[in-house]
Chains A and B, each alone.
Chain A
Amino acid sequence: MKDTKETIVKFENISMQFPGVLANDDVSLEIKKGEIFALVGENGAGKSTLMNILYGLHTPTAGNVYVKGQKIEKFKPMGAIEKGVGMVHQHFMLVPSFTVAQNIVLSREPKKMKFLYDLKKANSQVRELSEDYGLKVDPEAVVGEISVGLQQRVEILKTLYRGADVLILDEPTAVLTPQETDELFKVIRRIVEEKDMTVIIITHKLYEVMAISDRVGVMRQGKLIGVEETKNVNERILASMMVGREVLFDKIEKTGEPGNVLIEADNLFVADNRGLMAVNGVSLKVRAGEILGVAAIEGNGQSELVEALTGMRSVKQGQIYICGQEASGRDPGEIRKMGLAHIPEDRISTGVAMPSSITDNMIIGKERRSEFSVKGIHLKRSSVARYARELFDKFDLRGAGVDTEVGSLSGGNMQKVVVAREFSLDTPVLIVAQPTRGVDVGAMEFIHKQIIEKRNHGCAILLVSADLDEVMRLSDRIITMYEGRITGEFKAQEIDKRDIGYYMTGSRTAGGGEEGA
């Protein structure tokens, strides 16, 4: 960190009122030149909103923003870019069919003959830029065909091309492997030290805050709770600041012995939407009272594996057995009857019915039970309401009523609705995909407890998650997948995160291929 403590960005009493939500509540914050500042908070705490204001995507309801001493009058991305503010968004802002160079120079294309696009010059400019900053990319590669890590690099170069010296990174490591994360952190340190950049990282992974930042600001419910030098705090302090109470990150107690095999896949082949083989001969077994975690970088066949197991995607070759019954070629309804419940990876498209109430969502799939309907035709509204009320309390849905439209809930509450519905089916088999994606720490803790409880009661659970910490914390056994194949299998205690990363990128594989066991 530089000793010059000059302020480069200043937020002054910022408030941001969205319809029904006060996203930022009187936030005042100063970012110093040449520092790495981490902004942490639960989902919906207002950190992205604050940064979007700095980048000119929102106009604050009240308060002022100063960049390099100048007050921002009009909140437009173009204005922010001109003042040297660049932002790498959580979802990449890249055009898939354009090349790396075309994406980097977008909106500031080099020209020839006044109006023609000088494609050659764009390539050479990008090549120079990437060499200058030590961020290697191929300017002529098509963005849709390169890895996520490289795409992120393109995003960073894009801001540098626009002359940014304040770089905002929104959840930059969410899609990266541990190795790619290390690489990113090296890049960040280098551009800060050598190029005198200022970097603001939005994150909710606390160990990353400790690893990279000079100072850290914690947000909760739109308010800035505190700003600390990173060396003066630890993860536990930050977590309690974020949630407003003590959070227990201890290992949750597991009891019981594994029983019979309840989920079995034998040499499974599944194709993706483009017809390419996404699952390439996967065999696995999950026993009762056991959690098998699947660790893989997104797009390596784990989504298709889950969809095949739950009957949502057809199996090209191989067999699936759920509770001993052949499940391949069956539809989701039939497989559910065999004793399977499923938390899908995308709650918005497949987990809930957005415009319906919490009550209605709670009984999806149960509506024909005799307790809820007369001969499966006429719903017994009062018993449905009573049942929903019970689940509502048990699963601790806060800030809403049973009649609230699910689409208006926060990510955490929406996920709790899915968990409540599926877990209350009391099936022996659970397929759980991305159970806490985009969910705040409090809800995450709650959902984790529910999953472990199910395990202790003898459920066979297959857990797929992009969050490696989650996989390591919950699983009894872990398999790694790369390009649709199982590259390794481990007991959860026997492997550390870094090693798993190697198996997830295919740079190491388990020699004998003893999947399943």
Chain B
Amino acid sequence: MEHIFDVFNIGLLQNTLRTATPVILAAMGGLMTEQAGIMNIGMDGMILIGAFVAVAFSFACASASIGVLIAVLCGILIGLFFALFVVKLKSDEFIIGMALNTFAGGLTVFLLRSIFGVKGTFSNSGIVALPKVHLDFLDSIPVIGPLLNDNSIFVYITWILVFLAWLFLYRTPCGFWLRAAGEHPESLETAGINPDKMKLMASVLCGIFCGFAGAHLSLGYLTMFTEGMSNSRGFIAFACVIFGMANPPKVFLAALLFGFLDALGLRLQSVGVPSDLTSTVPYIATVLMLVYVVVSTDRKKKKKTKQQLVEASERA
């Protein structure tokens, strides 16, 4: 019984927010490209590069904000690079995405060793972490207070960004163009707007979001860089995009669900469940989530067919 309280406590929710944030950020980027009709599986690499660059510049310039800024600029560059191949040169987006992931993995390891001379992990007291936010008035409220206080500033920025992403896609002309570019590019073109520009924009936006995600991972979450530290979060984010049908609030909830399961895995470790097992929880959940999506649409289809057969036989 007491084990249950060890697992399900306020810490679990705090961890949920922390672990979900990078996935939410990357997923917001992923849904931009998804809406623009690009299948982007390169988010993992984008995050990894963002994470490395953020640590490197935070350390070099002794400033977290410069780290974040450069990570985002890098994200823009990668977004442009991705768009150059996928949109302009019309190469296969799957291959380019894979290439980006492999490239990011290799590049960060190479730079880690050649610049900082370390293998595996670079952690140094010189890396400036992102500031945490503490609001005094929240202290008086139970549960909510400790939950919402003392988070990295990125947690709050992320919530605002989710709203902005929704506002952009569903309440601005440009957002409509971006969605039209994904769903029916010819209609946008004949209306006088170049769909490739929209795709380019989506790709750059994705780079920016992934830059943020990476910076949060290495400066807001852990204050260090580890080889391969994106740890497939880009793919989890992609799963969330599919699960949430590329709609920002739904994708946000899907990412929170993932964050919760990830945090649950960590908590289970504290009561003695082997960590190898607990770390599989979010991935198993992802697979189940996607299976659910497929099965439920298939079942709806079958139900409709069956219903119509019944109706038809009743008529006859």
**Could you list which residues of chain A lie within 8 angstroms of chain B, going by C-beta atoms?**
55, 57, 76-78, 81, 87, 89, 91-98, 102-103, 106-109, 111, 115-117, 119, 158, 267, 269, 271, 274-277, 280-281, 316-317
Task: Give the shortest distance, in Å, between A76 (CB) and chain B (any CB).
Answer: 7
With contacts A106-B188, A274-B301 taken as known, whether A96 is within 8 angstroms of B183 at the C-beta atoms is yes
18 pairs from A and B in contact (CB 8 Å cutoff): A76-B192, A77-B190, A89-B190, A91-B186, A93-B184, A93-B186, A94-B184, A95-B187, A96-B183, A98-B176, A106-B180, A108-B191, A109-B176, A116-B171, A117-B176, A119-B171, A276-B305, A317-B309
Q: How far is the CA of A116 from the CA of B173 in the complex (A)?
A: 7
Q: Would you call B187 and A93 a contact (CB within 8 A)?
A: yes
Assess A275 versus B173: contact at CB under 8 Å? Given A78-B192, A95-B180, A107-B192: no
- Supposing A116-B171, A275-B304, A276-B304 touch, asked if A98 and B180 sit within 8 A by C-beta, the answer is yes
Question: Is the CB of B296 closer than 8 A to any CB of chain A?
Answer: no
Contact A269 B183 (CB under 8 A): no
CA separation between A111 and B171, bound complex, in Å?
10
Chain B residues with CB under 8 Å of A111's CB are 173
> Counting CB contacts under 8 A, is B150 at the interface?
no
Binding site for A on B (CB under 8 A): 167, 171-177, 179-180, 183-184, 186-193, 300-302, 304-305, 308-309, 312, 316
Question: Quick check: A107 and B305 within 8 Å, CB to CB?
Answer: no
Q: Is the CB of B191 within 8 A of A275?
A: no
When distances are taken between beta carbons in the complex, the residues of chain A under 8 Å from B183 are: 95-97
Nearest-Cβ distance from residue A143 to partner chain B, whole angstroms: 10
State the CA gap A316–B300 with chains docked (Å). Answer: 16
> Who on chain A is nearest to B167 by CB?
A116
Q: Which residue of A lies closest to B174 (CB)?
A: A115
* Contact (Cβ within 8 A) A107 B172: no
Question: B residues within 8 A CB of A89?
Answer: 186, 190
Assuming the contacts A93-B186, A93-B191, A107-B191, asked whether A316 and B176 have C-beta atoms less than 8 A apart, the reply is: no
Contact A280 B312, beta carbon cutoff 8 Å:
yes
Given A98-B180, A109-B173, are A87 and B190 neighbors across the interface (CB < 8 Å)?
yes
Beta-carbon nearest neighbor of A93 in chain B: B187
Known contacts A117-B176, A275-B301, A275-B304, A93 near B309 by CB under 8 Å = no
Interface centre among B175, B180, B304 (most CB of A within 10 A): B180
B191 partner, pick from A92, A106, A280, A317, beta carbons under 8 A: A106
Chain B residues with Cβ below 8 Å from A158 are 191
CA distance A402 to B296 in the complex (A): 50
Q: Return A181 CB to nearest CB of chain B, in Å.
A: 23
Total cross-chain contacts (CB, 8 A): 93
Which residues from chain B contact A271 at a C-beta distance below 8 Å?
Answer: 305, 308
Query: Which residues of chain B come closer than 8 Å to A117, judged between CB atoms?
Result: 171-173, 175-176
Bound-state Cα–Cα, A111 to B312, Å: 49
* Known A78-B192, A275-B300; 15 more pairs at CB < 8 Å: A57-B190, A76-B192, A81-B192, A87-B190, A93-B186, A93-B189, A93-B190, A94-B184, A115-B174, A117-B171, A117-B176, A267-B316, A276-B308, A277-B309, A317-B309
CA distance in complex: A267, B309 (Å):
11
Instruction: List, in ascending order, chain A residues with CB within 8 A of B304's CB.
Output: 274-276
The residue from A77, A81, A97, A316 contacting B309, defined by CB atoms under 8 A apart: A316
Minimum CB–CB distance for A516 against chain B, Å: 15
Q: Are B305 and A277 interface neighbours, CB within 8 A?
A: yes
CB distance from B273 to the nearest CB of A (A): 42
Q: How far does the alpha carbon of A514 sit from the alpha carbon of B186 in the complex, in Å?
A: 45
Contacts of B167 in A (CB 8 A): 116
B17 to chain A, nearest CB (A): 30
CB-CB < 8 A to A92: which residues of B?
187
- Closest residue to A317 on the B side, CB-wise? B309
User: By the criterion CB–CB under 8 Å, are A95 and B184 in contact?
Assistant: yes
A275 touches B192 (CB 8 A): no
How many Å from the CB of B232 to the closest CB on chain A?
31
Q: How far is the CB of A349 from chain B (nearest CB, A)?
A: 19
Chain B residues whose C-beta falls within 8 Å of the C-beta of A78 in the assembled complex? 192
Closest Cβ neighbor of B298 among chain A residues = A275
CB closest residue in chain B, given A110: B173
> A residues within 8 A CB of B301?
274-275
**Chain B residues closer than 8 Å to A94, beta-carbon distance:** 184, 187
Contact residues in B for A274 (Cβ distance below 8 Å): 301, 304
Are A107 and B177 within 8 A (Cβ)?
yes
Distance from A308 Cβ to chain B, minimum over Cβ atoms (Å)? 14
B299 — nearest CB in chain A belongs to which residue? A275
Known: A103-B187, A316-B305. A277 touches B312 (CB 8 A): yes
Q: Which of A93, A108, A275 is packed against the most chain B CB atoms within 10 Å?
A: A275
Chain B residues within 8 Å of A108, by CB:
191
Q: Which residue of B lies closest to A271 (CB)?
A: B305
Q: How far is the CB of B252 from chain A (nearest CB, A)?
A: 21
Report the minimal beta-carbon distance from A109 to chain B, rounded to whole angstroms. Answer: 4
B188: chain A residues within 8 A (beta carbon): 95, 106-107
Chain B residues with Cβ below 8 Å from A109 are 173, 176
Collect the chain A residues with CB atoms within 8 Å of residue B316's CB: 267, 281
CB distance from A175 to the nearest CB of B (A): 16
Given contacts A93-B191, A269-B309, A277-B309, whether A115 and B172 have CB atoms under 8 Å apart is yes
8 cross-chain pairs, A with B, having the tightest CB-CB distances, nearest first: A275-B301, A78-B192, A93-B187, A107-B191, A277-B308, A109-B173, A93-B190, A95-B184
For the complex, give the distance between the alpha carbons of A17 and B316 in Å. Answer: 60
Q: A residues within 8 A CB of B175? A: 117
Q: Using known A-B contacts A95-B184, A96-B183, A281-B312, determine if residue A275 contacts B190 with beta carbons closer than 8 Å.
A: no
B189 touches A77 (CB 8 A): yes
Residues from chain A with a CB closer than 8 A to the CB of B177 are: 106-107
A269 to B308, CA, bound (A): 10
Give the distance in Å from the alpha carbon of A281 to the alpha carbon of B308 in the complex: 11
Q: Do the beta carbons of A275 and B305 come within 8 Å of each other? A: yes
Chain B residues positioned under 8 Å from A269 (CB to CB): 308-309, 312
Residue on A with the closest CB to B190? A93
Taking each of A95, A269, A271, which has the highest tally of chain B beta carbons within 10 Å of its own beta carbon?
Answer: A95
| Cα(A317)–Cα(B316), bound, Å | 14
In the assembled complex, the Cα of A409 lies from the Cα of B290 at a distance in Å of: 43
Give every chain B residue within 8 A of A77 (Cβ-Cβ): 189-192
Q: How far is the CA of A275 from the CA of B192 in the complex (A)?
A: 37
Question: How near does chain B come to A124, taking the closest CB pair, in angstroms?
Answer: 17
Q: How far is the CA of A117 from the CA of B186 in the complex (A)?
A: 22
**Which residues on B sit within 8 Å (CB–CB) of A102?**
176
Closest residue of chain A to B173, judged by CB? A109
Task: Looking at the assembled complex, report how far the CB atom of A59 sits from the nearest CB atom of chain B, in whole angstroms.
Answer: 15
Residues of chain A with a CB closer than 8 A to B173's CB: 107, 109, 111, 115, 117
Which of A107, A158, A281 has its CB near the most chain B CB atoms (within 10 A)?
A107
Q: For the complex, give the distance between the alpha carbons of A109 and B192 in Å.
A: 13
Q: How far is the CA of A187 from the CA of B301 in the complex (A)?
A: 39
If A77-B190, A98-B176, A107-B191 touch, whether A275 touches B302 (CB-CB below 8 Å) is yes
Residues of B within 8 A of A116 (CB): 167, 171-172
Bound Cα distance A76, B193 (Å): 10
How many angstroms between the C-alpha atoms of A116 and B179 in the bound complex?
A: 16
Closest to B308 in A: A277
Q: Kindly state the separation between the CA atoms of A57 and B186 in the bound complex, as whole angstroms.
A: 11
Docked pose: A94 CA to B188 CA in angstroms: 8
Question: Given the complex of chains A and B, what is the CA–CA distance between A274 and B186 in angstroms?
Answer: 24
Contacts of A317 in B (CB 8 A): 309
